[in-house]
Structure 1
């Protein structure tokens, strides 16, 4: 397992969930929810900079790529690919990777509902919870396979 903090991103139309891993790549935890729109990439860049200011090495950013249950990519995936390309340009030289995120928001919603979070309380953190699930899956995949997860994103 490669050492270094990974940042997990769940990009939605209105909000972006952000998570981080510990430096050993064992556990993903929520960081914050960033409002989508002007300044969102700058905020994510500042999150990475803050990690590095605290002495962490940011190994990569992992972005969830929505696919249908059959594995096909639709319009939402195209939007995420475009976002990931812009993010890659913003955070370079830190690499950005796309990983399959089928059903993570649904799983995050169910998890939060099971914890008793409802309505606005759930909406406030569901994107972070989805980012945690995306990142944790990427960490677990790398630990199981020994290979970096997903596909590398080219800067746009």
Structure 2
């Protein structure tokens, strides 16, 4: 028997979706009832200073977010390559920054095969020119990631994704690891909608 959303099996409240790229990071939010994910913001990546990670933490605090889902790009065969490692490292860094900020917000990786490709297609079908896609495609992809996560939570009556823990050294102020962008990231030749 599936647990109800009020049973504490997964948190109720505003959740964030994160689409990690080498140049930009897309953010999406959902309503407290987890019905609809919407594009929220695109942030420029700064792998040296991690200012983008701190922007996400700031929004998580301001929105009283209860959970964050980071997209994990896998291949069609379910393999995790350079872009998946980059997303995992980013999720760990985000968990570290949340911990340093004193926020107990769980971070989970969720399979997001082809979310960016799907976002481009949806924007094209909505009549947006290709040159304007860049401004919003990352946040649209993040909305797709988040929508998939909240839909799965409701369908299964349980939490979904792979929970990410902050590395042990991040508990000390000023010791959060830096994140380097993955090199040689492969093109996504995968299908979206499969769960972890």
TM-score range relative to shorter protein:
over 0.9
Distance 2:98 2:67 in 1: 9
Distance 1:117 1:23 in 2: 29
Query: TM-score by structure 1 length?
Result: 0.93
Structure 1 partner of 2:97: 90
Distance 1:3 1:73 in 2: 30
Structure 1 partner of 2:174: none
Which protein is richer in helix relative to its size? 1
User: For each residue in 1:13-69, what CA deviation from the matched residue of structure 2 results, as whole angstroms up to 9, or x when unmatched?
Assistant: 1000000110011110111001001311111111112213xxxxx211000000001
SS of match in other structure, 2:66: strand
Distance 1:100 1:20 in 2: 17
Query: TM-score by structure 2 length?
Result: 0.75
Structure 2 partner of 1:49: 61
Distance 1:65 1:74 in 2: 10
List structure 1 segments (4+ residues) > 2 angstroms apart after TM superposition: none
What does 1:9-24 correspond to in 2, within 5 Å?
A: 9-24=18-33
Look at both structures and tell me which one has the larger radius of gyration over its CA atoms: 2
Select 2:36's aligned residue among 17, 27, 42. Answer: 27
Which protein is richer in strand relative to its size? 1
Q: Which sections of structure 1, spanning at least 5 residues, go unmatched?
A: 53-57
Select 1:81's aligned residue among 83, 88, 95. Answer: 88
Distance 1:88 1:118 in 2: 36
Structure 2 partner of 1:40: 52
RMSD: 1.0
How many residues are aligned here? Answer: 151
